[in-house]
Structures are given as structure tokens and as C-alpha cells.
Structure 1
Amino acid sequence: MRLDVICHQCACRVDSKGKRVKYVFLSHALTRELPVYGGGANLEITQVKSLEGGDSSNVYRFGMENHWGTHVDCPAHFFQNGMRISDYAATEWIFESPFLLETGMNENRVIIPEDVFSVPETADMLLIKTGFACLRGSEKYVMKNPGFSPEAGFWLRKNRPAVRAVGFDFVSLSPFHNREMGREAHRAFLDPEGENAPIRIIEDMHLIGNISRLVSVWVAPLVIEGLDSAPCTVIGALEE
């Protein structure tokens, strides 16, 4: 989508067809305390230079695992011969036909093939909004999260080969109450030798508010050579 004019009155842009487009973050900001699968973690932040301390600038060092916060799982997460975060071209992170699937907020829910039958054949990204993001920061969010069955992954790869990524508003593809199922589900989505191309997994997304008019999604991962996966910033374009 080509962007031509910024409309300052409505904090949106006007595209070449005269349509107003609003941009929103679909990823969470990184904070010192982060909810992670099965518990919590602390982002380590250290200030190494300080203007207040007489240095010429402010500089910080931070440390975290690559599967904390909103992040994308690539095939190398579960397969040694799978693609890593640095193997993807920039165009592979732009999605022009996202499909938003809104479901109920049920603890420990497992998404099965019947839940994704409505995904159009033209969709290149599936986003699942359960409302579970409203519980982020609570014990339920990291201990009773919904998840996917392996069969849902197999079905999408076979029947919706245009889908290149799936994202959702809960902490992990893997339901914490059934971790072995979760491992198998990751393999179903990511196996480089499975049917059609692997589907990347974007976990712990910020899918809050009315985002039903999504027209495109841009994913900007932290590209570090050699890593299987990485934290990412996700931006959605909403047609107003």
C-alpha cells in the first residue's frame, strides 16, 4: 500500500486511493517484568552511560531470552535444519491479506481444525483474538492459556497454503496444561519437511480493541545472526 498524505487531525494517513488508514501496535512493549510461558521473567536493564552522571549521552544494556514478549517462532526453534530469523527476506514480513478470527475467551481452550475452517484461501496471515490479552500480567495468562492442537497446524498447511504466519493474543501456541501437545503443535506448524511451507508463529500479541478492519500487517523482528527466533514489533494498518 502506497502512503501519500498524513492526516494530522485524525492521527492517520491517507493512501493513494483517498482512504484513511490508521496504524496500531499489535505487539506489547517490553517491560522489566514480563509474563512468559508458565511463569514470569525479568528483563535486565543496566545503564552504562548517563547524562546525569556527566557522560555525553545515555546508553543502556539489556538482556533477555529470545522467546520473551511478543516474538516470532521460526522453524529452527524445533528443527535443526529449519530457517532461522536471519534467513527471511524483508518481503516475508509483510502481510497484505490478514484474516482476523475472533473467538471466546476460555481457559485451557485448544484450537482444532474446525475452528479455522473459516480462514479464506487468500489469507496470508491468521490472527486469533480470544480476549485473553486482557488477563496479561495474571497467573491465568501464563498457566491456563489457550493453545493449538497439532491437527490445526496440519490442516492449515494442507488446506490454506497461502498462510505464512499465525499470531494470537495468548502467551504460547502450547497450552500449558498439555505441554506435550504444545510441542507437537509447534512441530506441525514449523516442520520444514511437512506439507507445503512452514507457518511462522507469533506469540503473545497485543490484539486489543476493534481491529476488525485490518488491511495489512508488518512484522519487524530483531534480526540477530544465528538465532532460531526473535522478539518482534508488529504494526497493523486499519482502514477507517
Structure 2
Amino acid sequence: MKRLLLSYPLSVNTPVYKDNPPPEIVQQFSIQKGDLFNQFIIKTINHNGTHIDGPWHFNPQGKKLSELPIDYFVFHHVTVLDIPKTDDELITKADLEPFAHQIAGTDLLIIRTGFGKIRTSDPVRYGNHNPGFSASAANYLMVFDSLRAVGMDFISSTSPLHMDEGIAFHQTMLGKDRVDGRFILLIEDMNLNHNLSNVSVVYAVPLYIEGVDSSFATVFAEKRY
């Protein structure tokens, strides 16, 4: 069994979505400077870097991420779809329909557009011109009862050029106005620059922080040789 890290490390160079503030990481104590130990102060919004959007992010009646049991973040039926998209393009229902048989029975759907390849070389473009999802994609994905999360290789489910579509996508996926309480988590800014064939299990483990909508995540996959 081989393990693949599907998260990016959080750093001061982490790309940010639109005009969000970047992470600040300051060393408070330093052994090199004569202190007895090393210690850091980290200041960042909870949507910087690889993170999971929980229901409360767009759903006023939704659960906060820390209210979900740990088993909710372990996925045994993973499907990876390559759907190439570039700057400002949307993933629509029409893009997903040809893969209906693969999505059926899936608990984690990973969508790889290829946009993640520019994350390091062009972080401004990555944070301001990312692909996104359309409202039609959300309505289509909610039909699949087994689906618990969707992951992606771009910074946000919302393309800055298509804010209305992205907001509607988030609201539908995170269960706003649903009476049955159903929602699908969104794992944004994943590192999918790997060979993801034969992935058997994915763990998307959030940092449990009480009282917040969403949280940073360490995501890794187990892959059969």
C-alpha cells in the first residue's frame, strides 16, 4: 500500500482566493535566538489552503464541521474524473452526465481539471481565475445518494467570474433550504498532481475547531500497487 498526500502545506506563500488575506506565520520563540523552545503564531482565515467547506458555510441551519463524526471523513468508494478546464470555465451538468455510471455508488468524487498545475508558478492567476462549478452541477450531483464529498484541484468551487453560479452551487451542495438535512462536503484546493489510479481509501481529516463553518484538512489517499 502506498500513501499519497493530497493536501498542500499551509505557508505564507499559499495562494489566496481573490482578495482574501494571506496566512501570517510568525516565530514567537526561537532556540536559535536563545529561547528554550520554538513556537509560532499562525493567523489565517479558515478557507486558506486545502480545506473542507462544511454545511454552515452557506447553510444557516447546517452543521459546523466539528459537529460531524470522524468517520464522516473516511471514504472507501472514490472516483476520480479528469474534466479539463482552464481560466474562469465552469463544470456543468453536461460535463458530469457522461460519468453517471462512475459516480453512482461513489462517496468521494474527485474532479481533476489540471488547473492545479499552475498553483506554484502563477498563484495570482490560480486565486483569481480558477474554474468553478455551475448551479446545474450541484442539482445533478445531489441526485447521487451515496455521495458525501466532492474534491477539486482549484482554490474554490466558485469561479470569481461567475459568482452567482458559485454561490448557488455552494448553497445547494451544503444543504440550504433542504428539509431532509442532506449535504455534500466540498474539499477545495487539493493537490491532485499524482497518479490517482487504484486509490482505495481517502482520509480527509479536518482540524476540529469549535464554532467555525469550515476547517483546514490533511487529505491523503491509500493506493494499491
Could you say whether these structures have the same fold, taking a TM-score greater than 0.5 normalized by the shorter chain as the test? yes
Following TM superposition, by how much is the alpha carbon of 1:39 offset from its aligned partner in structure 2, in angstroms? 4.6
Residue 189 (structure 1) aligned with residue 212 (structure 2) = no
Query: In structure 2, what is the Cα distance between the partners aligned to 1:219 and 1:131?
Result: 21
How far apart in 2 are the matches of 1:171 and 1:24? 20
Aligned mate of 1:219, from 194, 201, 204: 204
Inter-partner Cα distance in structure 1 for 2:181 and 2:107: 13
**Deviations 1:20-74, CA, capped at 9 Å, x for gaps:** x110111111111221212564321122222123322111111100010011101
How far does residue 188 in structure 1 lie from its aligned partner after superposition?
1.2
Query: In the alignment, does 2:145 pair up with 1:161?
Result: yes
Give SS of 1:42's match: coil
Distance in structure 1 (CA, Å) of the matches to 2:184 and 2:195: 25
Deviation of the 1:129 alpha carbon: 0.7
Moved over 4 A (4+): none
Could you tell me the TM-score, scaled by structure 2's length?
0.92
Quick one: distance in 2 between partners of 1:201 and 1:187? Answer: 11
- Give a deviation string over 1:83-103, Cα, whole Å, max 9, x none: 101111010000001100012
Q: Distance in 2 between matches of 1:205 and 1:112?
A: 20
Q: Name the counterpart of 1:94.
A: 74
Counterpart selection for 2:161 from 177, 197, 205 = 177
Q: Distance in 1 between matches of 2:75 and 2:93?
A: 22
Q: Deviations over 1:95-129 (max 9, x none)?
A: 00110001213222211112223133110010001
CA distance in 2, matches of 1:53, 1:144: 42
Is 1:201 the counterpart of 2:181 in the alignment? no
SS of the counterpart of 1:127?
strand
Counterpart for residue 128 of structure 1:
111
Could you tell me which amino acid in structure 1 is paired with residue 44 of structure 2? Answer: M
> In the alignment, is the contact (CA less than 8 A) between 1:33 and 1:41 conserved in 2?
no
In the superposition, the TM-score normalised over structure 1's length comes to: 0.86
Q: Which has the larger radius of gyration?
A: 1
Secondary structure of 2:127 counterpart = helix
In 2, Cα distance between equivalents of 1:192 and 1:97: 26
Q: Which has the higher contact order (CA 8 A, sep 6+)?
A: 2
Alignment of 1:1-240 (within 5 A): 21-39=1-19, 41-117=21-97, 118=99, 119-137=102-120, 138=122, 139-158=124-143, 160-194=144-178, 197-240=182-225
SS of the aligned residue for 1:36 comes to coil
CA distance in 2, matches of 1:152, 1:196: 19
CA contact (8 A) 1:157 1:196 kept: no
Number of residue-to-residue matches in the alignment: 219
* Paired letter, 2:148: R
How far the C-alpha of 1:162 sits from its partner, in A, is: 0.5
Alpha-carbon distance in structure 2 between the residues aligned to 1:38 and 1:58: 33
Decide whether the 8 Å contact of 2:11 with 2:25 is kept in 1. Answer: no
Segments of structure 1 that go 5 or more residues without pairing to the other structure are 1-20
